[in-house]
Amino acid sequence: MTEINRRLFLKGVAAMSVLASGCSQTLQGIAELPPRIKRRVRPGDPLWPTHAAWEDLRRAVRGRLIKFESPLEACSVSRLGSACTDVIRKLKNPFYIGDQPALTQAFGWADAWRSSPSVYAVSAASAGDVVAAVNFARDHNLRIVVKGGGHSYQGTSSSPDSLLIWTRTMNEIVMHDAFVPHGAGTISSQPAVSVGAGAMWGQVYEAVTTKGGRYVQGGGCTTVGVVGLIQSGGFGSFSRNYGLAAAGLVEAEVVTADGVARIANAVTNPDLFWALKGGGGGSFGIVTRVTLKTHDLPQYVGAAFGTIRVNSEPAFRRLTARLVSFYHDRLFNRHWGEQLRFTHDAVQIQMVFEGMSGQQAEELWKPLVDWVTSAPQDFTWEEPLVIANLPARHLWDAAFLKQNVPQMVVADERPGSSPSNYFWAGDGSQAGQFIHGFRSAWLPARLLETKQQGVLTDALVAASRIWPVSLHFNKGLARASAEDIAAARDTAMNPAVLDAFALAIISGGRQSAFPGVPGYEPDLVAARRDAAAI
């Protein structure tokens, strides 16, 4: 979207606000007009497509139309039967969930939504399949839902009584040494990677980093879908050094609501291109392929992990204040990412770094380690701080990780699964999760100023008395390069990210809680209690 168009749009919104305050009679008359939004056709309605119509769609998509039921139907027969217990076990594997069109990684959010399978799905293998599905849904006034990785916390990859466009099999990955966007002959070529809409980040990292020796900015969870993350803005562990994932979008192929497959880049359909960079998954069309810029790979990356147990509330406040100051003085730069987690009586250090050696990282952390160790009456290293680094090419290397840090990864143990399929052990609780509550806020960099550090410390201490709080330092761009800030500014992302040093996240849920499944129903009383605390 051009700057002039954005300006006109915002002026239009402002004008509507003024009219709303001074023209109540006119607006009341408008409100009495018949609604123009049509109700979607659902099963049982007279206009629901006939069997013959569905067969026409099946032929149009070359047999890739699926009528399915959820694997959890096995539990409706007997929750103690082997079929049900087998499904419940598999639902702790995010790869299994991702390969099931009827399932989503989260199974609902208390008093908000619940995962419900569509009636039919088109297992799209090409943009042409998506075009056929979109045209069919438009002609028959059907609700459409799109699923790639199925990681939407808002439930946008699930909708009952709908036609699902499932892109999982569209997972081709192609590396480019010198990519030039379509119709952009004047734009310099650059290294890039083209990725199908169904690919997950673990697959991309294997191709780009492990095999290709390059870096692409994407999500930290290996089972998250690529396209959904790009359209939602997207942060990686090293966002402060490589910018937003959405800002790395060079080109997209997208099917719009009129059933046309379009190319969107900086010169071809530029307004659509801007909207796709953080405007929300599926909001402006169904993306079938993205091309992302790649970067030179650093020589090494590393991590710092540890847990400090605290013996009193006064000591907890002193530790929190020290960590806030320590972060500002030593970690608030492009080298460091990931998080600190503040619980009721402990702080977990889960940080990653690039651009420095392991020895440099140890020297950087030494003052904090010495300070904590010098006060055993107040603090205990429940898990002593461990700092390790590794060649960056092995950052996502399944074989290397399984051999050297097996406690950090969980393999996809399904027969015939790819040896490169793994997920981080810390992400396992998200598979099959029922969300109780979730709150987040970008924290502006001014909170790290000396006069404001006490305010931030008080807030962290007060909040952690009620519920654990995580500060995700990689989900903010304060002190990123001017180039990355400018690129992020040219996306549809909330501009608050530009000056944020972290995203504070407070969330809770329960694994293996499935609405409508006897014996596994979520405890809504507990969920609402947790939501109130959050």
Q: Are residues 335 and 458 in the same domain?
A: yes
Q: Let me know whether 372 and 329 are in one domain.
A: yes
Residue where the block lists tokens 């979207």: 1
CA 62 vs CA 25, 73, 130: distances in Å: 55, 28, 12
The angle, 0 to 180 degrees and rounded to 10, between the axes of the packed helices 313-326 and 453-464 is 130
Shared domain check, 460 and 326: yes
Indicate the DSSP class of residue 188.
P
Residues in Cβ contact with 233 at an 8 Å cutoff, skipping those fewer than 6 apart: 244, 245, 246, 278, 491, 492, 493, 494, 497
Residue 319 shares a structural domain with residue 458: yes
Question: What is the pLDDT averaged over residues 424-447?
Answer: 96
- The pLDDT value given to residue 20: 35
Where does the pLDDT of residue 37 fall: very low under 50, low under 70, confident under 90, or very high at 90 and above?
A: low
Q: What is the 3-state secondary structure (H, E, C) of 289-357?
A: EEEEECEECCCEEEEEEEEEEECCHHHHHHHHHHHHHHHHHHHCCCCEEEEEEECCCEEEEEEEEECCC
Q: What is the CA radius of gyration of the chain?
A: 25
Residue 210 reports pLDDT greater than 80: yes
518 occurs within a structural domain: no
In a domain? residue 440: yes
**pLDDT value for 77:** 84
Q: What is the pLDDT of residue 395?
A: 96
Does 43 reside within a domain?
no
**Chain Cα centroid distance, residue 117:** 21
At 35 the pLDDT is 52
Confirm whether 526 is domain-assigned. Answer: no
In-domain check, residue 384: yes
DSSP assignment string, 410-451: EE--STT--TT-EEEGGGGGGTTEEEEEEEEEEEEGGGGSTT
Residue 472 domain flag: yes
DSSP state of 56: H
Question: Of the residues 102, 132, 166, which one is the last residue of a structural domain?
Answer: 166
What pLDDT does residue 33 have? Answer: 47
pLDDT tens-digit profile of 328-338?
A: 999 999 999 99
Query: How much is the pLDDT for 5?
Result: 47
Domain boundary among 104, 132, 166: 166
* Helix (H) or strand (E) run with residue 196 in it: strand 190-196
Q: For residue 534, tell me if it sits in a domain.
A: no
d(CA 161, CA 143): 7
| Angstrom distances, CA of residue 340 to CA of 61, 275, 329 | 48, 32, 15
Domain containing residue 504: CATH number: 3.40.462.20
Please give the residue range of the domain that contains residue 344. Answer: 300-395+432-511
The model carries a pTM of 0.91
Residue 350: inside a domain, yes or no? yes
Residues 276 and 320 in one domain: no
The single-letter code of the amino acid at 356 is M
Q: Which of 131, 166, 201 is the last residue of a domain?
A: 166
**Average pLDDT, integer, range 266-284:** 95
User: Does residue 316 sit in the same domain as residue 285?
Assistant: no
Partners of 290 in the beta sheet? 195, 252
DSSP states of 21-47: HH-HHHHHHHHTSPP-SPPPP-TTSTT
Tokens representing 424? 């981080």
| Same domain as 505, residue 437 | yes
DSSP state of 243: -
State mean pLDDT over 268-281.
Answer: 96
Q: pLDDT grade, residue 19 (50/70/90)? A: very low
Distance (Å, whole) CA 381 – CA 533: 28
% of the chain with per-residue pLDDT over 70:
93
Which residues, 6 or more positions from 211, have their beta carbon under 8 angstroms from its beta carbon? none
pLDDT tier at 9 (50, 70, 90 boundaries)?
Answer: very low
- For 449-499, how does the pLDDT look when each residue is reduced to its tens digit (9 = 90+)? 999 999 999 999 999 999 999 999 999 999 999 999 999 999 999 999 999
Q: State how far the Cα of 220 lies from the Cα of 238, in Å rounded to an integer.
A: 9
Q: How far apart are CA 40 and CA 46, in angstroms?
A: 12
Return the percentage of the chain with pLDDT > 90, whole number.
89
> pLDDT at residue 220 above 50?
yes
The token pair at 465 is 């008395």
Give tens-digit pLDDT for 395-435. 999 999 999 999 999 999 999 999 999 999 999 999 999 99
> Bigger pLDDT: 247 or 24?
247
| CATH code of the domain covering residue 207 | 3.30.465.10
Tokens (6 digits) for 193: 């990677």
Q: Residue 12 — pLDDT band, cuts 50, 70, 90? A: very low
Same domain membership, residue 450 and residue 340: yes
* Choice among 45-49, 185-189, 343-347 with the minimum mean pLDDT: 185-189
Residues 178, 139 share a domain: no
Token code pair at residue 199: 């690919």
Residues 250 and 309 in one domain: no
Shared-domain flag, residues 372 and 487:
yes
The CA distances from residue 212 to 174, 236, 289, in Å, are 11, 19, 20
Distances (CA, A) of 305 to 334, 347, 362: 19, 11, 12
What are the tokens at 473? 């330092």
Look up residue 288 and give its two tokens.
């079938």
- Give me the number of domains the chain comprises: 4
The pLDDT, as a whole number, for residue 90 is: 96
| Average pLDDT for the chain | 92
Residue 40 CB contacts under 8 Å (≥ 6 apart), including other chains = 141, 142, 143, 161, 162
Query: Do 293 and 278 touch, CB atoms closer than 8 A?
Result: no
pLDDT value, residue 351 = 98
Domain of 158: which CATH number? 3.30.43.10
Say if residue 465 is in the same domain as residue 355.
yes
Instruction: Render pLDDT for 76-133 as a digit per residue (tens, 0 to 9).
Output: 888 888 999 999 999 999 999 999 999 999 999 999 999 999 999 999 999 999 999 9
Q: Is the pLDDT of residue 21 over 60?
A: no
**Close Cβ partners of 408 (under 8 Å, ≥ 6 residues apart):** 401, 424, 425, 426
